[in-house]
Amino acid sequence: MSPTDRESWPSTPGGYEPAAPARPTRKENVLARAAGAFAFVMGCIPRRKSGRRALTVLTVLMAFAGVALLSYPVVTDFWAHARQNNLNKQFASKQMIDLYRKNEIKIGGALTRLVIDKMGACPTCKVNVIVVQGISGNALRAGAGHYPQTALPGDQGNVAIAGHRTGFGEPFRHLDALRPGDLVVLTTPIGKYTYQVLAPPVDGHANPWITHDKDVSVLYPTIDAELTLTTCDPPHTSKNRLIVRAKLIKSQIVA
pLDDT at position 147, please?
98
pLDDT at position 241, please?
97
pLDDT at position 67, please?
45
List the alpha helices (DSSP H) in the chain: 3-7, 26-44, 49-91, 95-101, 137-140
CA 234/CA 13 separation, integer angstroms: 59
Q: Under the phi-then-psi rule, with left for phi > 0, alpha for psi from -120 to 50, and beta for the rest, what region is 250?
A: beta
Residue 163 parent element (H or E)? strand 158-163
Which superfamily does CATH assign the domain made up of 71-253 to?
Answer: Sortase (2.40.260.10)
> Domain residue spans in the chain?
71-253
pLDDT at position 185, please?
98
DSSP single-letter state for residue 87: H
pLDDT at position 198, please?
98
Per-residue pLDDT of the chain (255 residues), as tens digits, is: 444 443 333 333 444 344 444 555 554 555 566 566 555 555 655 555 565 566 565 565 565 445 444 444 566 667 788 899 999 999 989 899 999 999 999 999 999 999 999 999 999 999 999 999 999 999 999 999 999 999 999 999 999 999 999 888 999 999 999 999 999 999 999 999 999 999 999 999 999 999 999 999 999 999 999 999 999 999 888 899 999 999 999 999 886
pLDDT at position 2, please?
40
pLDDT at position 197, please?
98
